[in-house]
Homo-oligomer: A and B are copies of this chain.
Amino acid sequence: MEAVLTEAVALLDVAGEPALTFRALAARLGGGVGSIYWYVESKDELLDRAADHVLADVLEDTEKFVDDPDPIAALRGIGRTLYDAAVDRPWLGRYFMRNTEFQPNSLRLYERVGGQVLRLHLKPRESFHAASAVVGFVVGLAADMGQEPPEEVVSGALDRGQFMKRVVDQWRGLDPAEYPFLHTIIDEFEGHDDADQFRAGFDLLLDGLRRQAAR
């Protein structure tokens, strides 16, 4: 069972979500297709469990943040760590906390985030909303930013830089009077780093949260 999840995650990590098929997984395990169904009932459950398997590492890597004197700083650390794990695994976001029966680590991570929120002494409802917003922001943006690039890039026909250039050129061709914002930020977009973008947005959210706690 442990081997099934390990190999499933390995398959997902090296070749993305479409590479995880029961046939490929069985071949990797040196077994038959049907055997996998002894351990999981469906592919959805396999991905549920794979997600939780990955979260074990995240849980370990975020332990160091929980004792930070500043709970907001702790949330920042936890969130960034989770983002790093999720951005390379767009499937993780979709299976995170989907079935807590199979996913103890999902629950523990949510609790870990919530533990920091508790230190802000908000009302229960505000705490619930805050923790959900933090987790949702991280997971949602990671899923968004981690999505597979178009097929031209995957197949290697187009460099990532060339692809970016083509998009930017298309945008530059638009009427500046109709798209003033796009033309304002296009230079930033051209050389942007996804991780920076995530962090900047995340800091906005955390700042809003800090302000709510101060009230």
Contacts and interface: CB of A to CB of B under 8 A. Distances in A.
B147 A98 contact: yes
Contacts of A145: 136
Nearest to A166: B101
A140 interface: yes
A114 B181 contact: yes
A172 to B, nearest CB: 12
B208 A204 contact: yes
Contacts of A128: 185, 188-189, 192, 197
Contact of A182 (B110, B171, B187, B202): B110
Nearest to A139: B144
Interface residues of A, number: 63
A115 interface: yes
A51 interface: no
A47 interface: no
A206 B207 CA distance: 10
A202 B201 CA distance: 12
A143 B141 contact: no
- Residue from A113, A137, A180, A211 whose CB has the most chain B CB atoms within 10 Å: A137
Contact of A117 (B118, B131, B181): B181
A167 interface: yes
A180 B141 contact: no
A70 interface: no
Contact of A136 (B125, B144, B189): B144
A98 B208 CA distance: 29
B133 A204 contact: yes
Given A133-B200, A137-B140, 14 more contacts: A99-B150, A100-B167, A100-B170, A111-B178, A124-B184, A128-B188, A130-B200, A136-B140, A140-B140, A203-B208, A204-B205, A204-B208, A207-B208, A208-B209
